[in-house]
Homo-oligomer: A and B are copies of this chain.
Amino acid sequence: MLKHSKVRTPIIIVNFKTYAEATGEKAVKLSETAEKVSIETGVCIAVAPQFVDIPIVARRVSIPVFSQHIDPIGYGSFTGHVLPESVKEAGAVGTLINHSERRLKLADIDAAITRAREVGLISVVCSNNTPVSASAAALKPDMIAVEPPELIGTGIPVSKARPEVVTSTVEAVKRISPEVIVLCGAGITNGDDVAAAIRLGTEGILVASGVVKAKDPYKVMVDFAEAVLRAQR
């Protein structure tokens, strides 16, 4: 169903944000660590570095690289915008859209998903609750990642603090667009959180500080990947 051979579910997407630990050369290193875990465990791990780091990361690792955002534009007079074609040419296979730190207008989310589809980028629309997830589902992105913003960066996982948000999101999304893949994010720091998310019906997670700011990102990602394998059985 997903258009890129590298990307399969269950998936762990690591959002690098603008964290010092995941900028420039450190973005490459962290991506290499993610690649190592992915190869060792067989679980699909993708990374979402900053725009300027995409081409460098994409050349150095074989795992899927996502952009953190695209603008709903094409070639033309759009100074300072993020062109889907450029992101693709730089080596990204997909993109986050509407992250809670980079929210878009509804018409622009629709246009961004369309543009992603046109250039062959996998679209992951972020949402903050069940109704917004349902709303995003009607736009038929490839994936929806639900993240209650009040839990982002807290270490309190949505899968434990508010499991009903996850289950109702899966249900609402599948009712409107059964083919859309649901991920969950916010507050995930260990394998148990990941396993809980999968058991609640998601097909993966979107994580940031839980990996990037961990003392040992390798260990955390291994823990996550093994939890994914465990939860699948």
Instruction: Please report A residues at the B interface, Cβ cutoff 8 Å.
Output: 15, 17-20, 23-25, 48, 50-56, 68-69, 73-83, 85-87, 89-90, 96, 98-110, 127-129, 131-132, 134-140, 152-153, 172, 176, 208-209
- Decide if B138 touches A75 in the complex (CB within 8 Å): no
Q: Which of B17, B53, B77, B140 contacts A101 (CB 8 A)?
A: B77
A104 to chain B, nearest CB (A): 6
If A83-B18, A89-B24, A139-B131 touch, whether A105 touches B103 (CB-CB below 8 Å) is yes
A149 to B9, CA, bound (A): 38
6 contacts between A and B (CB under 8 A): A23-B86, A50-B82, A50-B86, A52-B55, A104-B106, A106-B106
- Contacts A23-B75, A53-B55 known; 10 new A-B pairs at CB < 8 A: A18-B78, A23-B83, A52-B52, A79-B99, A80-B101, A98-B106, A103-B106, A104-B105, A104-B106, A131-B140
Q: Chain B residues near A68 (CB, 8 Å)? A: 79-80
4 A-B pairs closest in CB distance: A69-B80, A80-B102, A134-B138, A51-B51
Q: Chain B residues near A83 (CB, 8 Å)? A: 18, 23, 50
- Decide if B86 touches A24 in the complex (CB within 8 Å): yes
A18 to B68, CA, bound (A): 18
- Decide if A79 touches B102 in the complex (CB within 8 Å): yes
- Decide if B56 touches A80 in the complex (CB within 8 Å): no
If A81-B102, A103-B106 touch, whether A18 touches B75 (CB-CB below 8 Å) is yes
A30 to chain B, nearest CB (A): 14
Q: Which of A24, A54, A78, A106 has the most CB of B within 10 A?
A: A106
- Decide if B73 touches A18 in the complex (CB within 8 Å): yes
- Decide if B138 touches A87 in the complex (CB within 8 Å): no
Q: Chain B residues near A52 (CB, 8 Å)? A: 51-52, 54-55, 82, 86-87, 89-90
A81 to B17, CA, bound (A): 8
Q: Which of B23, B76, B77, B110 contacts A89 (CB 8 A)?
A: B23
A23 to B144, CA, bound (A): 29
